[in-house]
Amino acid sequence: MTEAFDRSEFIAGYLAEVDEHLENANAQLLKLETAIAKREPQLRMIRELFRALHTIKGLSAMVSVEPVVELAHEMESLLRVRDQTSSPLTSSAVELLFQGVRAIGQRVHTFGERKRVEPAPHDLLAALHALVGDTRRSELDDGPTLSLGLEIVQKLTPSDREQLVQGLVAGSKAYRIDFAPSPANAAAGLSITSVRERLSQLADIVKVVPRALAKTPEVPTGLVFTLLVLAGTDSTPEQLAEAAHCKAEQLVAIELSVPVTPSDDGWDSADGELGDGSQLSQHDTIRVEVSRLDDALEKLAALVVTRYRLERAAHALRDSGADTRALETILGEHRRELSRMRASLTHARMVSMQQLLERVPLLVRGMARDSDRQVELRIDATHAELDKAVAERVFPALLHLVRNAIDHAIEPSDERVRLGKPPAGVVTVRCFERAGNQLELSVSDDGSGIDALRVARKAGVPPPEDERALLALITRPGLSTREAANERSGRGMGMDIVKRVAVGLLGGELSMRTELGVGTTFTLRLPTSISILDTFKFRCGSQSFVVPLAMVEEVVELERSKVFSAPSPGGSARSAQLLRRKGENIPLFELASFFALTPGEGLRSALVVSREGERFAFTVDHMLGQQEVVVKPLEDPLVKVPGVTGSTDLGDGLPTLVLDLWALSRAPLRRARLGTPSVEARTKVPS
């Protein structure tokens, strides 16, 4: 087995593993920035960062990516020295670490593309190395010391020392208590174990240091246990002495030789040292390639189709007079088991929205720095989940919305102050699950709002009448309000992409709310999965169709008294149909005519669709009930048409089209064949 073959087996796993640790490293660096700004403790974040970098270094060494090993090692050295010297990180140090993580990410990406990996940046390595030396020299000059003997101090770990310092700064009392085992103490039931148990009820035991001494009457065994404890104001020296079976004057108070304030230290109390990364929490998880889940989904789709065929065969037997009660019982159980299997497989493909949004803070940090704006990001993510395929499509749309908020909405700090706003703008990302397997995702800002008149002048069109028309205008391909493009925006591609992804690709909904000088909110409503859907099945003419359940607002029985005609726009002789529903007249389209089918006769139904403030209804011949289907998207551009998102098999061996009624209502075919009722006709209710 060759070396190249051995390495190639690890590459896919290496890339996935390192990507997770890089995300964790960036998250810890962002927390460190916040801690520095608020003068909060740093230790826990530094240790998490160290472990992530140490793991990256080990994994990179396995596949011989030496530049990554070199970078991770130098950053790791800085973090270890900071731990050993109890020195907090500065903003400049965090910026260097950000550069290091970014350099590692670039080289890992290059390695994943099987390209030559560039050496580690010499200037960055030199800056990190110099910072390590500065930290060591600073500790020698002015580090705080404790009033303990050298023998005991040498046995304290950095975290022990740090816990004592932090406790003293916070106002606790620290004591040194010596306990010497002896036959008399043993006869009285006293041991180091019992003393520890009694003391732990009154104080925090930081360290127990065993010491070997010369045998004396006071130390008959030649062994003394020195306990270092932190006690609050509710525990007196007398109580501690009683618990340790000694006199109160035998307790030795521990003091700092140099006054220390909370802002000088900047650490929190955390047990354990940095270690070698082996203390990472273990989860009962395994890494599975998405292609394997896709393969399982394909097999589930085949089982669903087989179930439909079984049901059709059972119905045929029943119609022929056979007793199929036992078979139908088995089919019912089979249907329930398939439904459970679908739920399990769908859940396995889900990714957490919180995990998806972990990358947003780092991107916002970079955008804010590049645009010279102060931006505060707030994320309100519930336990919502998305199918991985949906998540991969929606994330670019989310980034466009966040980028637009920073580049176009949030004002510069001096302008915000002049307007009476806080210097830092706020961008808020919220998401939560809605009924019907839908997710609602919103991006809002407290910026300048959208100037409809300015947008209209830029587009060369009349001003929009409402927010829905304004949204349609700003999502035009190629439209941008910037005078010149920069690295982030100004090319007229942002909102167009958002609409294409949310509405066109995922079959969701995009809406907007804006107010000049107050801010803007964009809201996406998306299906959580686009692979297996609950649908309405119906017939038009001789063909069967399905439409996603979440797309239909309601199904109504058509009554002649509720349907009437209105003049078509442009003076066309052909009239348009309207359906009166709940005091509103909504356009009614004959779905069969879209596919050149002959509509049926007799009692018929209508599917009502609502999106972006508009409602439409489509006439169908027969509703055939609800059905779970596996959607196969139409990828070939030669067969893709507006209003048809894919196909499915209902068990008869024939492809059944999955319709997007909203897109169908907007298709040129509708306007060519049926016309669009005028605004007057749509709002006038007949007497």
pLDDT in tens, 271-307: 344 444 444 344 456 667 777 777 887 787 778 778 7
pLDDT of residue 278: 40
Average model confidence (pLDDT) across the chain: 78
**Residues 421-436: tens digit of each pLDDT:** 999 999 999 988 876 5
Asked if residue 266 has pLDDT above 60, the reply is no
* Cβ(455)–Cβ(512) below 8 Å: no
Sign of the Cα pseudo-torsion (648, 650, 653, 659, in order): negative
> Across the beta sheet with 173-179, what order do the strands follow?
204-212, 223-231, 173-179, 252-254
pLDDT of residue 522: 92
Using CB atoms within 10 A of its CB, is residue 476 exposed (0-12), middle (13-18) or buried (19+)? middle
**Residues 625-636: tens digit of each pLDDT:** 887 777 776 666
Cα–Cα–Cα angle for 559, 565, 570, nearest 5°? 155
What is the secondary structure of 3-43 as a DSSP string? HHHHHHHHHHHHHHHHHHHHHHHHHHHHHHHHHHHHT---H
Asked if residue 374 has pLDDT above 80, the reply is yes
**Helices 452-459 and 467-474, packing angle to 10 deg:** 40
| Cβ-based neighbours of 400, under 8 Å, separated by 6 or more | 494, 495, 497, 498
Asked if residue 3 has pLDDT above 90, the reply is no
Q: How far apart are CA 373 and CA 406, in angstroms?
A: 8
Helix (H, G, I), strand (E, B) or coil at 543: strand
Of 531 and 558, which is predicted with more confidence?
A: 558
Question: Which of 242-246, 550-554, 683-687 shows the lowest mean pLDDT across its residues?
Answer: 683-687
- Tell me the one-letter amino acid at 142: D
Q: 351-527 sits in which CATH class?
A: alpha beta
Question: Which of 156-165, 218-227, 384-393, 602-611 shows the lowest mean pLDDT across its residues?
Answer: 156-165
| Cβ-based neighbours of 13, under 8 Å, separated by 6 or more | 287
**Paired strand residues for 544:** 539
Asked if residue 343 has pLDDT above 80, the reply is no
Q: How far apart are CA 166 and CA 584, in angstroms?
A: 68
pLDDT of residue 31: 87
pLDDT of residue 371: 78
Q: How far apart are CA 96 and CA 29, in angstroms?
A: 10
* Cβ(224)–Cβ(207) below 8 Å: no
The beta-strand segments (E) located in 558-643 are: 563-566, 576-581, 584-590, 605-611, 614-620, 622-630, 632-633
Percentage of the chain beyond pLDDT 70 is 82
Per CATH, which fold does 532-683 belong to?
Answer: OB fold (Dihydrolipoamide Acetyltransferase, E2P) (2.40.50)
* Cβ(335)–Cβ(307) below 8 Å: yes
What value does the mean pLDDT take over residues 604-611?
84
CATH code of domain 3-142: 1.20.120.160
CATH 1.20.120 given to domain 150-261: no
pLDDT of residue 429: 92
What value does the mean pLDDT take over residues 372-383?
84
Nearest to 551, CA basis, from 622, 616, 621: 616
- Tell me the one-letter amino acid at 21: H
Q: How far apart are CA 155 and CA 160, in angstroms?
A: 9
pLDDT of residue 568: 59
Percentage of the chain beyond pLDDT 90 is 3
DSSP letter (8 states) at residue 660:
-
Asked if residue 61 has pLDDT above 60, the reply is yes
Buried b (16+ CB within 10 A) or exposed e, 518-541: ebbbbbbbbbbbbbbbebbbbbbb
pLDDT of residue 427: 92
Q: How far apart are CA 596 and CA 665, in angstroms?
A: 15
Q: How far apart are CA 288 and CA 349, in angstroms?
A: 10
Query: What is the signed CA dihedral for 455, 458, 460, 466, rounded to 10 degrees?
Result: 0
**Residues 462-517: tens digit of each pLDDT:** 888 888 888 888 888 777 666 554 555 544 456 888 888 887 777 778 889 999 98
**Residues 184-231: tens digit of each pLDDT:** 888 888 888 888 888 888 888 888 888 878 788 888 888 888 888 888
pLDDT of residue 408: 84
